[in-house]
Amino acid sequence: MQFKKLSLLAAISLSVALGLMFSSAAVAQQAPVARGKYLVNHLSHCLSCHSPIGRKGRRVPGLEMSGVPAKNADKRKGPPQNVGFPGPFGMRSYPSNLTPDKETGIGNWTEADWLNAFRKRVNPQGKKYAHTQMEWDVYRNIKDADLKAIFAYLRTMKPVKNKAPANIAPKFPGKGGKGKH
């Protein structure tokens, strides 16, 4: 009798343990997306720069992380999220579309492309990113697991079609240049 009770107890605890194992496996699968969301929205400021601003200084709902609107390419007045960041010697940089749209966002990026951008400061075509307000030097310190979590979260966002304007490179003064020192 005693033995039966014991084995029943053992069976129950085994099934509880197995249940816990499986449910924590499920949590582990969800965790990167939740962590990515926390990093993008609250800690790393990705959301603040990469989302257009609407009325009352609020982010335009539905356009989060879709970058500077293409239609604003020639505009100079407004928040940098809408018209790009001005820089020295006429340069201007435009936060890009990081939603999973395949043509205008990062929908075609692989996780390796994503890691390369932060580790080597190159885009998926291998082109080096210029010095802009995008703080590659700071963000390259994000550890792999967190970068992957950010990527995983961005992949769950609604794809938005928007080709952010192309950056304008600085025109340095000097030979042939028109700028002044």
- Would you say 93 and 153 are in contact if contact means Cβ atoms under 8 Å apart? no
- Would you count residue 133 as binding ligand HEC (CB under 6 A)? yes
- Would you say 83 and 68 are in contact if contact means Cβ atoms under 8 Å apart? yes
* Tokens describing residue 30: 């969800």
- Would you count residue 108 as binding ligand HEC (CB under 6 A)? no
Smaller CB separation from ligand HEC, 30 or 133: 133
Find the shortest distance in angstroms from Cβ 94 to ligand HEC.
Answer: 6
Site string for ligand HEC, 141-160 (x = CB under 6 A): ---------x----------
Nearest-angstrom CA–CA distance, 130 and 27: 39
Choose, by CB under 6 A, the member of 72, 96, 99, 162 that binds ligand HEC: 96
- Would you say 42 and 36 are in contact if contact means Cβ atoms under 8 Å apart? no
Which parts of the chain are beta strand (E)? Answer: 85-86, 92-93
- Would you count residue 72 as binding ligand HEC (CB under 6 A)? no
Binding to ligand HEC (CB under 6 A) within 76-95 occurs at 85, 93-95
Stretch near ligand HEC under the rule CB under 6 A, chosen from 5-13, 15-23, 38-46, 171-179 = 38-46
- Of 75, 82, 100, 81, the closest CA to residue 161 belongs to 100
